[in-house]
Amino acid sequence: MLRARRGLIRGACALCAPVTPTSVTPVGARREQHSTCNVVVVGGGIVGLATARELILRHPSLSFSVVEKEKELASHQSGHNSGVIHSGIYYTPGSLKAKLCVKGASLCYDYCDQKGIPYKKCGKLIVAVEQDEIPRLKALYERGLQNNVRDLKLIGATEIKEKEPYCKGVMALDSPHTGIVNYREVARAFTTDIIEAGGTVLTEFEVNGIEMVKESSADSLEGMKYPVIVRNSKGEEVRCQYVVTCGGLFSDRLSEISGCSPEPRIVPFRGDYLVLKPEKCYLVKGNIYPVPNPRFPFLGVHFTPRMDGNVWLGPNAVLAFKREGYRFCDFSATDFFDSVTFSGLRKLIFKNVYFGIGEMYRASYINAQVKQLQRFIPELSVSDVLRGPSGVRAQALDRDGNLVDDFVFDGGTGAIGSRVLHVRNAPSPAATSSLAIAEMIASEVEQRFGL
């Protein structure tokens, strides 16, 4: 039985490499075609791993499997992000994002302390460089207070210089509890917890079917106990009672294959980073962010120190032609067709055509991106930066072209739909919030499925 099988953790994570995430492989040369467990979690990103960990810690007598399509865990959004532990300033008071970010950040720091995972509470300044940004900055301050973000304060130009000597600004919101961490390390620690608690992690298992057992086998003992089949194209299957999907960029497709709603749809947005040359890293001490444009869900290009001492600048946001396409030229006919035939995306493009063109221009020309960054650090020049890695965001969109801003979790109806819970939208700050999201999903699973 696969259930009894444990995973092996191997390989160290080079913090500065584009991505060398956690590696878990099943022990043994071959795995069985067929195994059983109580709950399957689809998706080995930080949300899926945190969820499986929480479930297994709460229910040690039940069996859990994580199935992940890649060879490595945390290969996508969880391994391609800014690495910021957000404090919870931006989000609408009362929203899931606001609640789960504030709680998640605190849980994340505690977890890192407990596991010895390095992090830095280097703080963050959200900087207004023009007078007309001040009202929006003050509104953010109020919002942060409503969200119970601790120790926020508004500071003037002199204090900005004290904290960030090379940064220019008229006013800033100082968030001292914002930090940085390598989320791949956090994901790796979650995996260790899962395996130590007796869970199973199966990599290279791309789910292409979630269905009920056939009528003919439903009355067999196993068919009655494990009525849901999670299968891949290699003919392997895990039979289980319940499924939780945490598919990131593929959350809509996973929902669709289980007969649940394909909406909200996911549209991929690539974000490219520039990297400061090592001899110029002195220009940045902590996180420096712009005052965000309220029309967009992205926080704007920022300066972010990394745990390895590098400093990343970015990311921008351009429509990607492939869901997991990290390079400008990456193209998938299926993903492209899916995006352009979706009326929601066409409406979004129509509403934001100038912003979109601007982002594509800045993605193509480093000079244009540096110019945007010079608003904050005038001393920065094109010769100080190199092109860096990219990430792809899973942006959920409704059919009217509205960006779905908050976290979304839902199931379906009917035999299969009532046994599945989908994490439909887990955008930034879901890495920060992962432990709090996991607590919420685990409680939802208990309530829905009577675990």
Sites of contact with ligand FAD (CB under 6 A): 42-48, 67-70, 75-78, 80-84, 86, 206-207, 246-250, 254, 271, 315, 391-393, 426-432
Helix and strand element counts for the chain (H, E): 14, 24
Q: How far is the CB of 450 from ligand FAD (least distance, A)?
A: 25
**Smallest distance from ligand FAD to CB 427, Å:** 5
Contact indicator for 294, 91 with CB cutoff of 8 Å: no
Strand 385-397 to strand 265-276: parallel, antiparallel, or no bridges (unpaired)?
A: antiparallel
Q: By C-alpha distance, which of 302, 293, 414, 310 is closest to 354? A: 293
Q: Which is nearer to ligand FAD, 227 or 271 (CB)?
A: 271
Q: Which is nearer to ligand FAD, 171 or 200 (CB)?
A: 200
**Of residues 258, 192, 234, 228, the one with CA closest to residue 36:** 228
Nearer to ligand FAD among residue 172 and residue 317 (C-beta): 317
**At its nearest, how many Å lie between ligand FAD and the CB of residue 7?**
15
What's the min distance (Å) between Cβ of 356 and ligand FAD?
A: 17
Cα-based torsion angle of the residue sequence 237, 238, 239, 244 in order, rounded to the nearest 10 degrees? -120
Least Å distance, CB 248 to ligand FAD, is 2
Cβ proximity to ligand FAD, 63 vs 434, nearer residue: 434
Q: Give the number of other Cβ atoms within 10 Å of residue 155's Cβ.
A: 17
- In whole angstroms, how close is the CB of 238 to ligand FAD at the nearest point? 11
Ranked by CB distance to ligand FAD, the top (closest) residue is: 45
Q: Scanning the structure block, which residue is given the tokens 């689809």?
A: 42
The least CB distance from residue 135 to ligand FAD, in Å, is 26
Task: Identify whether 294 is preceded by a cis peptide bond (ω within 30 of 0).
Answer: no
Cβ atoms of 91 and 97 within 8 Å: the answer is: yes
Phi, psi values for residue 399, rounded to 5°: -70, -10
* Nearer of residues 75 and 175 to ligand FAD, judged by Cβ: 75
Q: Which residues contact residue 34 at a Cβ distance below 8 angstroms, ignoring those fewer than 6 apart?
A: 236, 237, 238, 239
Nearer to ligand FAD, 171 or 267 (CB): 267
Query: Would you say 171 or 288 has its CB closer to ligand FAD?
Result: 288
Task: Give the number of other Cβ atoms within 10 Å of residue 86's Cβ.
Answer: 27
Query: Residues 243, 244, 247, 250: what is their CA dihedral angle, to the nearest 10 degrees?
Result: 60
Shortest gap between Cβ of 205 and ligand FAD (angstroms)? 6
Give least dist CB 327 to ligand FAD, A: 14
- Identify which of residues 71 and 225 has a Cβ nearer to ligand FAD in the complex: 71
Say how far apart CA 406 and CA 393 lie, in whole Å: 14
Query: CB-wise, 21 or 417, nearer to ligand FAD?
Result: 21
Helix axes 183-196, 96-115, angle to 10 degrees: 70
In the complex, the smallest distance separating the C-beta of residue 215 from ligand FAD, rounded to whole angstroms, is: 26
Question: Closest CB to ligand FAD among 212 and 257?
Answer: 257
Query: In what helix (H) or strand (E) does residue 181 lie, and over which residues does it extend?
Result: strand 179-181
- At 376, phi and psi to the nearest 5? -95, -45
From residue 293, alpha-carbon distances to 296, 299, 380 in Å are 6, 8, 23
Residue 190 or 449: the one with the smaller Cβ distance to ligand FAD is: 190
The CA-based angle 276-282-283, given to 5 degrees, is: 70
Q: Which of 401, 267, 402 is nearest to 344 (CA)?
A: 401
Which residue's CB is nearer to ligand FAD, number 75 or number 171?
A: 75
- Closest Cα to residue 244, out of 86, 432, 53, 33? 53
For residues 422 and 410, is the Cβ–Cβ distance under 8 A? Answer: yes
Compute the least distance from the CB of residue 111 to ligand FAD, in Å: 14
Smallest distance, Å, CB 122 to ligand FAD?
13
Residue pair 177/150 in contact (Cβ under 8 Å)? The answer is: yes
